[in-house]
Amino acid sequence: MRFDIPDLRLFLAVVDAGSITHGAGAANLSLAAASERLRDMEAASGVPLLLRNRRGVVPTRAGDTLAHHARLVLRQVGAMQAELSDHARGFRGSVRVLANSAAIVGFLPERLGLFLARHPGTDIDLAERPSPDIVKAVAGGLAEIGIVSDAADTSGLDTQPFAIDRLVLVAPRDHPLAGAGRVAFAEVATEPMIGFDGALQVQLRDQAERVGVRLRPRVLLRTFDGVARMVADGAGIAVMPEFAARRARRSMPLASLRLTDPWATRRLLLCTRATDGLDPLAVSLVHHLASAAGSA
C-alpha cells in the first residue's frame, strides 16, 4: 500500500467537502482525474474508503482511519517544510548543551539569556549531568558543548575556561562552627546534612567515601534556595556553591565557611570536540560563552 502526499490531500479534500466534485476542485484536479486517483487508493488499500450516495460521499470506517492518519502526516509535513525553510534562511537552529549543577544554576541563565536574545531563531537543549558523564557525551557526539569541572578527564576534547566555582559550607548562625571562617569537609561529613538533588551531590558522596563516611542527607532538594532555607531553619548544614550561599545570606540568617579541600575550588571548563567539526551556530555559542567568561 502506497499513498503519496497529493493522494492524501485529495482524499481529505473530498472527505471535508462531502463530494468528489468539490474535493477535486479544491485539489485543482479534474473530476475524472480525481475519481481515478480515489479508485487507485481503494484498490491499493483493498477496502472501500468512501460510500457514495445521492448527496455525495462519506468515509467508511477504513476511510475515517485513513483521514485521521492523513491529517497527522500532512501536519508533520507542514512542520518539516516550515523548519527547513527557516534553516535555509538561517533563522532556526538548536544546540545541545550539557552542564553540571553549578554552571546551570549560577552562570548559564545570564549568559545564555544574552545569546538567545541576540539569536531569536535559536533553541538550546540544556540538561544537567555529572561532569564525567558530560565528557563522555561530548566525546561521543551526543552533545555539542559541555561545561564541566576541571577534575574531569577531558583528554581528547578542546577546552576553554568558563568560570571559577568555589564550594562553601553553610550553617545556621548559631552553629558552633559559624565563626570558624573555614573548615575541612572531613570535619563535618558526619553531621546532619541537607542535600542538593543534582550532580553536586554525587561529588560530595564520592568525597565522603574517600574519608570513610557514608553520606546520608536528611532530604534532597532541587534548588539551592530551598537548601539554604532548611539550613537557616536549623535542619542541618549543607555544601553549596559560593554564589548561591552569598545570595541566600542576603535574606536568611546563615554563616558560610570556605572549604579548605582542594577539590572545593573548581574551575569550570567549556569542552567540545574540535571546533572545526561543529556547525556555525554551536561555534558562535562557544565563542559567546568563552568571551563572557573572560569578561567575568
Residue corresponding to grid cell 561529613: 189
Q: What is the pLDDT of residue 199?
A: 76
Q: Write the Ramachandran bin of 67: left for phi over 0, alpha for psi from -120 to 50, otherwise beta.
A: alpha
- In angstroms, what CA-CA distances link 107 with 4, 99, 104, 244, 259? 49, 10, 6, 11, 21
> Which residue is associated with the grid cell 500532512?
74
Whether the CB-CB separation of 269 and 162 falls below 8 Å is answered with: yes
- pLDDT for position 114: 87
CA quadruple 186, 187, 192, 193: dihedral, nearest 10: -50
- 181 burial (CB, 10 Å; 0-12 / 13-18 / 19+) is exposed
CATH of 5-88 given 3.40.640.10, 1.10.10.10, 3.30.230.10, 1.25.40.340 = 1.10.10.10
Verdict on whether the full-model pTM lies above 0.85: no
- What's the pLDDT at 93? 74
Is 77:238 a contact under the CB 8 Å cutoff? no
Q: Cα(107)–Cα(166) distance, rounded to whole angstroms?
A: 13
Q: How far apart are CA 274 and CA 176, in angstroms?
A: 50
**What pLDDT shows up at residue 271?**
96
Select 93-296's CATH number: 3.40.190.290, 3.40.605.10, 3.30.930.10, 3.30.565.10. Answer: 3.40.190.290
pLDDT score recorded for residue 90? 55
Q: What Å distances lie between residue 44 and 7, 13, 106, CA to CA?
A: 12, 19, 59
- pLDDT per position in the chain (296 positions), as tens? 678 899 999 999 999 999 999 999 988 899 999 999 999 999 989 999 999 988 899 999 999 999 999 888 888 887 677 666 656 655 557 899 999 888 988 889 889 998 898 888 788 999 988 889 999 999 988 899 999 988 889 999 999 999 998 999 999 999 999 989 999 999 999 999 999 987 788 889 999 999 999 998 999 998 999 999 999 999 999 999 999 999 999 999 999 999 999 999 989 999 999 877 788 888 889 999 998 765 45
In this structure, are residues 267 and 160 in contact, taking their beta carbons and an 8 Å threshold?
no
Q: What is the pLDDT of residue 85?
A: 64
Report the DSSP beta bridge partners of residue 168: 240, 258
Could you state, in order of their start, the residue ranges of all structural domains in the chain? 5-88, 93-296
Q: How far apart are CA 84 and CA 159, in angstroms?
A: 32
Q: Distance (Å, rounded) from C-alpha 207 to C-alpha 259?
A: 13
Three-state secondary structure of the chain:
CCCCHHHHHHHHHHHHHCCHHHHHHHCCCCHHHHHHHHHHHHHHHCCCCEEEECCEEEECHHHHHHHHHHHHHHHHHHHHHHHHHHHHCCCCEEEEEEECHHHHHHHHHHHHHHHHHHCCCEEEEEEECCHHHHHHHHHCCCCCEEEEECCCCCCCCEEEEEEEEEEEEEEECCCCCCCCCEECHHHHCCCCEEEECCHHHHHHHHHHHHCCCCCCCCEEECCHHHHHHHHHCCCCEEEEEHHHHHHHHCCCCEEEEEECCHHHEEEEEEEECCHHHCCHHHHHHHHHHHHHHHHC
